[in-house]
């Protein structure tokens, strides 16, 4: 192909669609013809080269005094393919041109700007999501910002937190530039509420909330109100229903009987189904019940019919005592949360069997190991944790909230390994960003603001981990993979702690520091916790990388977003190998996406 490129004749340049003149390259024409032929079963690269030469001859004859455009050359490709009898290849090439034109038109519509830099480095799939969910619109639904402007809005807003600690305008601007750069490079992205709400009149930047549910009507429906407000602003909620008295327990005031926690969970589910997060997506919730609650079996089976509780993840809060009873095949006590008295006994293995059967059939319930969480919680002096946020990655105290951010670890490959210095820089900037977010955030009520600012928790997580392992040729489910994951997360945790300590020296420790585990060992911390491995479904699509720390979902698959839009995702590592080894084609990718594997 290099020889062929050198024999391209008198053509020296070509006019791009954006007005730029670039060097003419026969190889690109040959590749375009070959890929079109490959999509319909062809595999002759030499034929593609010969056809490309025919294209060059036509273009040279027609454009003796002016420079041909990309469109002119593509028209010549169609002509050569049709006249030489390669009709199927011609149709594939025409279809490719049509789809690319559609994409350009759509991108222009999304961006609403002529500058190529306005889309930053977002993919077409990312632009679809940004247009639908993240980019600001006017009252009639018209876009009023580009992706670049969205990132600038977020960076400027969050950087303002520096001014609360004596930073000058120039220093705030410098911070804003750094925040923009780490997002525009897609090395770090904050959670969706931050991207959507930063700079708004009401800017709820936290993604995760835990709200208390007491054993009174006033507490239950006050919590439901708070949850509705939180969901309306784009975040999710976690609840423990363990304090609610069991079903058929007496209600003395009305001489009636209680409905039980599952009944109230259904009320929450129906109410929050009406309130979509940020007006765009259904809300997400976590419901937790202690394994020693009398209604535990009813709770475990609440999603058995696969139609109930669609807006809830459910998890059983298991204790050390229960797990030991499972191991020893014996009974354990359940107790009434209203009276604190023992209610009866259940066989632990029977309960565990029902739990695992339902988890296998429906995906719910999960397990939350409460005793272990509270052993490891550095702020245990503030009380016990009873539940987590909506997806389980952030154990929080009642009324706490936290913001999340994810680092695309796949973007730190260097010389067959990790660029640890660059990763350190991004981790430190992520800590700075998320700590600022706590200050510029607005909260649904004073209780949540007080609880959040007392511990100043946030969660830095990962995305792109599976892609990273593939690019480093490390098998995901191997000892080497586990050792690498351990080394990577230790580095991120240590560096996030280091930056939090630096902020503590400049800005002060968080109010909960005194009496905490950090205080006990003499580690001054601005933030009580800094790590949370969250799922990054939408953000990983925006960053064009694999989700979270999870293995690759599939080599290629179709993903439905916003209940209707279909996106076809192909794993970049697979695509690279397929192209290098010559078996890539759109038809193959479609078949793999439909089948779910190879």
Question: For residues 590 and 291, which has the higher predicted lDDT (pLDDT)?
Answer: 291
Query: 29, 56 in Cβ contact below 8 A?
Result: yes
pLDDT in the model for residue 472 = 93
* CB-based contact 335:342 (threshold 8 Å): yes
pLDDT value at position 99? Answer: 73
The count of residues in the chain is: 598
As a whole number, mean pLDDT of residues 196-204 equals 90
Q: Containing H/E element for 266?
A: helix 261-274
301: annotated active-site residue: no
Catalytic residue among 145, 152, 393, 495: 393
| pLDDT mean over 191-211 | 93
- For residues 333 and 292, the answer to whether their CB atoms sit within 8 Å is yes
Q: Are 70 and 17 contacting, i.e. CB atoms less than 8 angstroms apart?
A: yes
Please report the sign of the dihedral spanned by the C-alpha atoms of residue 26, residue 27, residue 30, residue 31.
negative
Distance CA 556, CA 595 (A): 9
CB within 8 A of 224, min separation 6: which ones?
A: 267, 268, 271, 272
How many other CB atoms sit within 10 Å of the CB of residue 61? Answer: 9
DSSP-derived 3-state class of residue 280: coil
Which entry of 302, 391, 402, 549 is annotated as an active-site residue? Answer: 391
Residue 502 is given by DSSP the state H
Three-state DSSP class for residue 142: coil
**Whether residue 68 has pLDDT greater than 60:** yes
d(CA 140, CA 361): 44
Express each pLDDT in 144-188 by its tens digit. 898 999 999 999 999 999 999 999 999 999 999 999 999 999 999
Identify which of 364, 531, 365 has the alpha carbon closest to the alpha carbon of residue 462.
531
501-525: pLDDT as tens digits = 999 999 999 999 999 999 999 999 9
pLDDT digits (tens, 9 = 90+) for 432-474: 999 999 999 999 999 999 999 999 999 999 999 999 999 999 9
Are 534 and 390 in contact by the 8 Å Cβ rule? The answer is no
Q: Is 550 a catalytic residue?
A: no
Name the band, by pLDDT with cuts 50, 70 and 90, for residue 531: very high
CA distance 524 to 577: 48
Give yes or no: 483 in active site.
no
Question: DSSP code of 337?
Answer: T
Helical packing angle, 26-38 and 45-62, nearest 10°: 130
Indicate the pairing of strand 312-318 with strand 285-290.
parallel
Distance (Å, whole) CA 247 – CA 394: 29
pLDDT 10s digits, 82-109:
888 888 888 888 887 877 776 666 555 5
Q: Quick one: tokens of 183?
A: 């997002």
Q: Given this model, what pLDDT does residue 6 score? A: 36
| Gyration radius of the chain's alpha carbons | 28
**DSSP 3-state percent helix, strand, coil across the chain (nearest 5):** 50, 15, 35
Q: Is the model's pLDDT at 273 over the cut of 60? A: yes
* pLDDT for position 525: 98
Q: Which pLDDT value is given to residue 561?
A: 56
Secondary structure element (H or E) that encloses residue 583, with its range: none
pTM: 0.80
Q: Is residue 304 scored above 50 in pLDDT?
A: yes
The span from the CA of 201 to the CA of 133, in Å, is: 18
> How far is residue 226's CA from residue 239's CA, in Å, rounded to a whole number?
12
Tens digit of each residue's pLDDT (9 = 90 or more) over 219-253: 999 999 999 999 988 889 999 999 999 988 877 76
The strand pair at 236-240 and 285-290 is best described as parallel
Ramachandran area for residue 303 (φ above 0: left; ψ -120 to 50: alpha; else beta)? alpha
Q: Are 406 and 463 in contact (CB under 8 A)?
A: yes
Condensed to tens digits (0 to 9), the pLDDT of residues 1-14 reads: 343 343 445 677 88
Q: Where are the alpha helices (DSSP H) in 346-464?
A: 348-362, 370-376, 420-440, 446-455
Q: Which residue of the set 358, 389, 410, 436 is catalytic?
A: 389
Tens of pLDDT, residues 334-374: 999 998 899 899 999 999 999 999 999 999 999 999 999 99
pLDDT tens string 373-417: 999 999 999 999 999 999 999 999 999 999 999 999 999 999 999
Mean pLDDT of the chain: 88
Cα 40 to Cα 320: distance, rounded to the nearest angstrom: 60
Residue 43 has pLDDT above 70, yes or no: yes
Separation of alpha carbons 215 and 220, rounded Å: 7
Strand extents, DSSP E, 471-573: 556-561, 565-570
Per DSSP, the residues of 195-237 read HHHTTSSS-----EEEE---SSHHHHHHHHHHHHHHHHTT-EE
Using alpha carbons, select from 415, 419, 420, 380 the residue that is nearest to residue 397: 380
């Amino acid at each position: 192909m290099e020889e062929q490129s050198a024999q391209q004749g008198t053509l020296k340049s070509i006019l791009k669609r954006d007005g730029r003149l670039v060097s003419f390259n026969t190889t690109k024409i040959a590749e375009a013809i070959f890929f079109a032929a490959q999509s319909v079963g062809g595999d002759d690269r030499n034929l593609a080269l010969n056809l490309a030469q025919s294209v060059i001859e036509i273009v040279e004859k027609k454009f003796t005094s002016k420079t041909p455009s990309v469109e002119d050359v593509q028209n010549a490709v169609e002509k050569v393919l049709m006249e030489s009898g390669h009709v199927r290849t011609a149709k594939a090439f025409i279809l490719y041109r049509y789809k690319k034109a559609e994409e350009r038109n759509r991108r222009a519509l999304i961006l609403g700007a002529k500058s190529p830099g306005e889309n930053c480095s977002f993919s077409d799939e990312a632009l679809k999501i940004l247009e639908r969910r993240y980019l600001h619109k006017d009252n009639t639904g018209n876009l009023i910002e580009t992706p670049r402007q969205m990132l600038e809005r977020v960076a400027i807003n969050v950087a303002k937190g520096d001014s609360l600690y004596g930073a000058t305008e120039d220093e705030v601007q410098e911070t804003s530039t750094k925040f923009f750069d780490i997002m525009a490079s897609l090395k770090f992205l904050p959670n969706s509420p931050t991207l959507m709400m930063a700079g708004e009149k009401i800017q709820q930047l936290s993604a995760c909330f835990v709200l208390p549910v007491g054993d009174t009507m006033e507490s239950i429906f006050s919590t439901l109100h708070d949850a509705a407000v939180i969901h309306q602003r784009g975040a999710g909620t976690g609840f423990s229903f363990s304090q609610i008295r069991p079903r058929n327990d007496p209600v003395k005031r009305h001489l009636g009987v209680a409905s039980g926690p599952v009944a109230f969970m259904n009320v929450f589910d129906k109410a929050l189904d009406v309130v979509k997060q940020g007006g765009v997506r259904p809300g997400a919730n976590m419901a937790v019940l202690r394994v020693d609650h009398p209604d535990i079996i009813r709770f475990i089976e609440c999603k058995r019919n696969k139609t109930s509780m669609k807006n809830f993840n459910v998890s059983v809060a298991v204790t050390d005592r229960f797990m030991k009873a499972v191991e020893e095949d014996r009974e354990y006590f359940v107790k009434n949360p209203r009276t604190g008295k023992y209610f009866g006994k259940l066989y632990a293995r029977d309960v565990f069997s029902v739990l695992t059967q339902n988890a296998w059939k429906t995906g719910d319930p999960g397990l939350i190991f409460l005793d272990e969480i509270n052993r490891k919680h550095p702020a245990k002096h503030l009380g016990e944790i009873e539940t987590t946020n909506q997806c389980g990655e952030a154990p929080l105290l009642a009324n706490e909230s936290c913001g999340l951010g994810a680092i695309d670890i796949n973007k730190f490959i260097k010389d067959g390994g990790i660029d640890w210095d660059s990763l350190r820089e991004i981790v430190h900037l992520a800590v700075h960003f998320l700590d600022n977010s706590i200050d510029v955030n607005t909260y649904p009520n004073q209780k949540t603001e007080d609880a959040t600012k007392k511990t100043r928790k946030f969660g830095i997580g990962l995305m792109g981990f599976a892609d990273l392992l593939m690019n480093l040729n490390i098998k995901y489910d191997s000892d080497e993979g586990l050792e690498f994951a351990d080394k990577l997360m230790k580095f991120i945790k240590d560096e996030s702690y280091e930056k939090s300590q630096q902020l503590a020296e400049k800005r002060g420790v968080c109010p909960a520091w005194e009496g905490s585990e950090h205080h006990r060992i003499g580690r001054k911390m601005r933030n009580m916790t800094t790590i949370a491995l969250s799922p990054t479904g939408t953000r990983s699509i925006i960053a064009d990388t694999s989700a979270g720390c999870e293995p690759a979902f599939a080599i290629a698959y179709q993903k439905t977003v916003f209940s209707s839009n279909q996106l076809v995702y192909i794993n970049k590592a697979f695509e690279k190998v397929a192209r290098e080894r010559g078996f890539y084609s759109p038809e193959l990718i479609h078949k793999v996406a439909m089948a779910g594997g190879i």
